[in-house]
Amino acid sequence: MPGKVVLAYSGGLDTSVAIRWIAEHEQAEVIALTINVGNQRDLEAIRERALQIGAAKALVVDARQLFVDHFIIPALKAGAVYEGQYPLATALSRPLIAKLLVDVARAEGATAVAHGCTGKGNDQVRFDVSVGALAPDLRVVAPVREWELKTREDEIEYAQRHGIPIPVTKASPYSTDENLWGRSIEAGILEDPWQEPPEEIYAWTRSPREAPDTPRYVEIGFEQGVPVSLDGQRLDGLTLISELTEIAGEHGVGRIDHLENRLVGIKSREIYETPAATVLLAAHAALEHMTLSKDQLRMKALVAQAYADLIYNGLWFTAHHQDLAAYVHSTQRHVTGTVRLRLYKGTCAVVGRTSPESLYDYSLATYDKGDRFDQRAAVGFIQIWGLPVRVQAQAQLLAQPEGPLGFLEAPKQ
């Protein structure tokens, strides 16, 4: 009896050729699994294509709700943004896809799972490491990493030779990936980091030049770090993200040009379109600035970076992640309130915030009447605060031959 391999099937050329290649090279039945994480495609057509190519079975799973609840929202609460730029859309979907591959492999009695990643990117690492954590006994087959088909032309030739219908997408020099949290575009002219991205690569955002002349204000309501309303209307996460993608995209918000550090050591230029993520991350951060203390904000920024790195680096299924998630969860207890933002020709600016749990105290901050801050007490505070500075200056710095500023002193003529 031939073994079974569950392939993460997107319907594109790589994974279409992979169905046939795996069947041949693994002597296995291929089960094609197409996962909907918010990439708008004709899923039924993709399913049928898999069967037509020779998959023994083809499944479609709608994982959008899981993706929102267990990946996007936690990443938003964490403020996870890789290298200060990339909201991690593609990276977040990988552990979910790996989990579903493993689930189907178990249900079907498969001995291997497969994906269409190349050997140069991050995604292969995320899939392989995640599968290794969830099901160490399952083998991972990565045809694109292994096969002898070097170029797209080789693949098309292989497809023609084996009667594989070539996906009717118009030939594009770009490689794209999309889900609810964002769209990633790479390759083609973008590989020259000096070149401005051509307008044709964008699908979710209008050019800021052509965006409406009137700004659009949006209000995002949060409860304990979770976005729950848009312009006062309570919405589930999936609807809220989808609507925000439309609204912010219309105003050209969320275009990112990132020259990033891949896990495999390569610097790579990637363009992202993340209208909803850009707005929600800005809104969430603004509310945290109102509801978290200075110390909490400092520590949370460190955790956010560690969290972003672990997502990027494929370490979702780790105890380290559980530890950081527990910290993040704890920080969100009071992150409740509403943030107002202005979307205008590619920009997204926070213009207002309000919270029932705000730490902002008008009577302490104001320079107008109603001031409760005791300015005389500042004198004693500064006396003590500056004490170690004065002691050190007296004992060490003033006596230095180069003067009290040390090497910062202007050179003597």
Specify the stretch interacting with ligand ARG by CB under 6 A; choose among 173-181, 206-214, 351-359, 389-397. Answer: 173-181
Could you tell me whether strands 3-8 and 112-114 are parallel, antiparallel, or unpaired per DSSP bridges? parallel
Instruction: Restricting to residues 351-380, name those near ligand ARG by CB under 6 A.
Output: none
Could you tell me whether strands 337-344 and 267-273 are parallel, antiparallel, or unpaired per DSSP bridges? unpaired
Task: List CB contacts of 222: < 8 A, sequence separation 6 or more.
Answer: 228, 283, 284, 287, 335, 336, 337, 338, 339
Q: Are 403 and 409 in contact (CB under 8 A)?
A: yes
Quick one: DSSP state of residue 194?
A: T
Q: Is 14 a catalytic residue?
A: yes
Beta carbon nearer to ligand ARG, 177 or 288: 177
Specify the stretch interacting with ligand ARG by CB under 6 A; choose among 65-73, 177-185, 284-292, 365-373. Answer: 177-185
Instruction: Establish if 179 lies at the interface with ligand ARG (CB under 6 A).
Output: no
Place of tokens 């401005």: 196
Instruction: Establish if 186 lies at the interface with ligand ARG (CB under 6 A).
Output: yes
Please work out the total of residues on this chain that contact ligand ARG, with binding judged by CB under 6 A.
Answer: 10
> 14, 20, 49, 268: which one is catalytic?
14
Q: Is 330 a catalytic residue?
A: no
What is the closest distance, in whole angstroms, from the C-beta atom of residue 153 to ligand ARG in the complex? 19
Task: Choose, by CB under 6 A, the member of 111, 175, 242, 358 that binds ligand ARG.
Answer: 175
What is the closest distance, in whole angstroms, from the C-beta atom of residue 263 to ligand ARG in the complex? 8
Instruction: Establish if 75 lies at the interface with ligand ARG (CB under 6 A).
Output: no
Beta carbon nearer to ligand ARG, 183 or 206: 183
> 69, 103, 139, 175: which one is catalytic?
175
Q: Would you put residue 300 in left (φ > 0), alpha (ψ -120 to 50) or beta?
A: alpha
Specify the stretch interacting with ligand ARG by CB under 6 A; choose among 128-136, 146-154, 171-179, 343-351. Answer: 171-179
Sign of CA dihedral 66, 74, 254, 343: positive
Q: Rg of the Cα trace of the chain? A: 26
C-alpha separations of 199 from 209, 257, 406 in Å = 11, 13, 52
Instruction: Establish if 176 lies at the interface with ligand ARG (CB under 6 A).
Output: yes
Instruction: Establish if 184 lies at the interface with ligand ARG (CB under 6 A).
Output: yes
C-alpha separations of 379 from 234, 373, 383, 384 in Å = 49, 13, 6, 9
Beta carbon nearer to ligand ARG, 152 or 372: 152
Task: List CB contacts of 370: < 8 A, sequence separation 6 or more.
Answer: 362, 363
Could you tell me whether strands 216-223 and 226-230 are parallel, antiparallel, or unpaired per DSSP bridges? antiparallel
What is the closest distance, in whole angstroms, from the C-beta atom of residue 216 to ligand ARG in the complex? 28
Residues forming the site for ligand ARG (CB under 6 A): 90-91, 122, 175-177, 184-186, 270
Catalytic residues: 14, 94, 123, 175
